Chain A
Amino acid sequence: MLLVVSRVNDVGGQTGFGDFTVEPDEPPFHADWEARVYALNAAMLRRGVYNLDQFRDAIERMPPADYLAAGYYERWLTAIETLTSGHDDG
């Protein structure tokens, strides 16, 4: 039997998320650490530590409450931490 799993990130058509705000002249990153997270992910993908599908999966299987509480690059940070936890000593 096919088990269809719904994940918290699958928000298309849901109601109740309220309004979005448009930030004029928004910078690419809102803090230096966001840029470092972006770069760490690119470096891990380039090195083949994990691939893009694994990265997305690591974000999307965050516990729903954590996912919703985290900012965009915090989700990335969590995913990189999860996917590299076995790489401590090379």
Chain B
Amino acid sequence: MTAHHPTSHTAARVRRLEERLIAAGLTDDAELDGIITRFLAGASPLNGARIVARAWVDDDFRARLLTDANSAIADVGLSMRSGLQEQRLTVVANTETTHNVVVCTLCSCYPIGLLGPSPSWYKSEAYRSRVVRDPRGVLAEFGLHLPEETTIVVHDASAESRYMVLPRRPAGTDGRTEDELAALVSREGLIGTALV
């Protein structure tokens, strides 16, 4: 993966940039602090998990989610309008025969508001280059060993279009509440590197 260089040199570069942009009147400390606070408070895989749980208990919601995710997620109080431009969300459902997994080969596109900050492995050249060539092998490295007969579909995200996986509802979860179901869903399940 890409090396991290959290050096004092880089931190000094950031300070110089920040001072320059503040001096130019383009931002200020309060705005920057507010952006970080809101990001850390709001962006979480719990959002994606709530969407999944609703789809597991409500067939009408599930159908709308799979055809027009952007409008459907408003039902659970979410939107893809976190930045300046609304990003198109496509939700892809795992089935008995098909498993979906998401990547951004060009950079790191990811529905950050629904899944939380993206993990370093998702942004690494190693994952981005290999998951489209050998998805079965990459999933196995995550401990997800899919049967040979399962079709794996890899979705390559872009700046305008983001993907989220709708995992299959685990067996033996009848009668659970939506909140209990949401608690079963992991970030990896929403990316497709885990079953749920």
Give A residues with C-beta under 8 Å from B. Answer: 9-15, 17-23, 26, 28-40, 42-49, 51-53, 56, 59-60, 68-72, 74, 77, 80-81, 84, 87-90
Contact A87 B24 (CB under 8 A): yes
- Residues of chain B contacted by A33 (CB below 8 angstroms): 6, 10-11, 14-15
Contact A12 B32 (CB under 8 A): no
Contact A12 B156 (CB under 8 A): yes
Q: In whole angstroms, what is the CA distance A88 to B21 when docked?
A: 7
Q: In whole angstroms, what is the CA distance A65 to B19 when docked?
A: 28
| Chain B proximity of A65: nearest CB distance (Å) | 13
Can you name 24 A-B residue pairings with CB atoms under 8 Å? Answer: A9-B106, A12-B103, A17-B130, A26-B119, A30-B6, A39-B31, A39-B32, A40-B18, A40-B27, A42-B83, A43-B31, A45-B83, A52-B159, A56-B159, A59-B107, A71-B6, A77-B13, A81-B13, A84-B17, A84-B26, A87-B20, A88-B20, A88-B24, A90-B25
Known: A43-B26, A49-B26, A71-B4. A19 touches B36 (CB 8 A): no
Residue B3 is within 8 A (CB to CB) of chain A in the complex: yes
Residue B84 is within 8 A (CB to CB) of chain A in the complex: yes
A-B pairs with CB below 8 Å: how many? 158
Contact A20 B27 (CB under 8 A): no
Our pick among B17, B119, B141 for the contact of A40 (Cβ within 8 Å) is B17
